[in-house]
Amino acid sequence: MKVNIYYGGRGVVDDPTIFVINKIQEVLEELNVSVERYNLFEMKNQITTLSQTVTEADAVVMATTVEWIGMGGYMQTLLDACWLYADKSKIGNVYMFPVVMSKTYGEREVSLTIINSWEMLGGRTGSGISGYVDDTTEFEFNSKYVEYIEKQSENIYRTVSQKRLTLPSSSMTIKDSVMKDVIRFTPQESEQLSKYASDDAFVKTQKKDIESLASIYKELLNDEENGGDDYYLDVFKDNFKPGIGFSGSYMIVITDKGKSIKLQVNNDKLDAQFGDNKEADVIARLNKSVFDDIVSGKVTFHRAFMTGDMTAKGNFRSLRMLDTLFSFAG
């Protein structure tokens, strides 16, 4: 027989839950039961993967402490992981015994929450231990309390060894209803997913990749709404002011889009196309957002250059002419 104990408290010295589970472990080991202990506060980044260990045992003890209100986060995370990743068909054969000690109020409510959660997972539940402790030292040296804990520990052994029958609960019906719309994973897929979910580096990388993809798709969508690649050329063709009596050449590089625009002005004529012109009178570099601000009339080429949002080299008289040659409406 194998029993796993999951401790969801913070590991403080005077936590009465630690005393209770120590006593449970002691009694079970005297009965030749294999007991494995998991202190969740020491395994913060591995809690998700522990969902795979619950199905390796004949019974589990879910132990936590109510320190101010409700169930602690470590235990909640473990139960969430069991719902998402554990093999529900195997959980159905695992008994769960809650241990909830309180130094404030609410031990019975938390114990009931754990029981309901386990039943929703399809597992079997047994009689647990819950109680309020004001003074941990006094509690530990109370022989009647110790005897009660030992009796309950023996009851865990008897319940599991005899495979005592438990009646169906309404939680099972709810579980079956909820699970209809849940994607079902194989045990192997669940194990892989739980490992990925507990890997902070992997999760952070995934988030960055998602944000990067979202940004790329957003830009593509904006470009399409503006007319695609033609947008970069049309804004110059549509806003060119002939009759200035000026001739010159420009290459405008939009750095974050990897696009180079060649502009050739010859008095009343404008030739705008994509490509490089290293011999241009002016070579300007700017990013897409600055480019959009200029062609929407929010800023001028001259102002973008003066503020450093656009860099340029070449003939600065020709650079100043850009705002004269192209009239972008504000």
Kindly report, residue by residue over 271-286, the tens digit of the pLDDT.
999 999 999 999 999 9
Q: Round to whole Å and give the CA distance between 251 and 286.
A: 11
Hey, which residues does 4 pair with through a beta bridge?
Answer: 36, 60
Q: Round to whole Å and give the CA distance between 247 and 243.
A: 11
At residue 208, the pLDDT reads 77
Beta carbons of 123 and 95 less than 8 angstroms apart: yes
Query: What's the CATH number for 2-198?
Result: 3.40.50.360
Confidence of residue 230 (pLDDT cuts 50, 70, 90): confident
Closest alpha carbon to 55 in 97, 88, 98, 32: 88
Neighbours of 157 (CB within 10 A): 19
Evaluate if residue 187 carries a pLDDT over 70: no
Confidence of residue 186 (pLDDT cuts 50, 70, 90): low
Phi/psi at 235 (5° precision): -65, -30
At residue 318, the pLDDT reads 92
- Class of the 230-325 domain? alpha beta
At residue 110, the pLDDT reads 96
At residue 61, the pLDDT reads 98
Q: What is the mean pLDDT of the chain?
A: 87
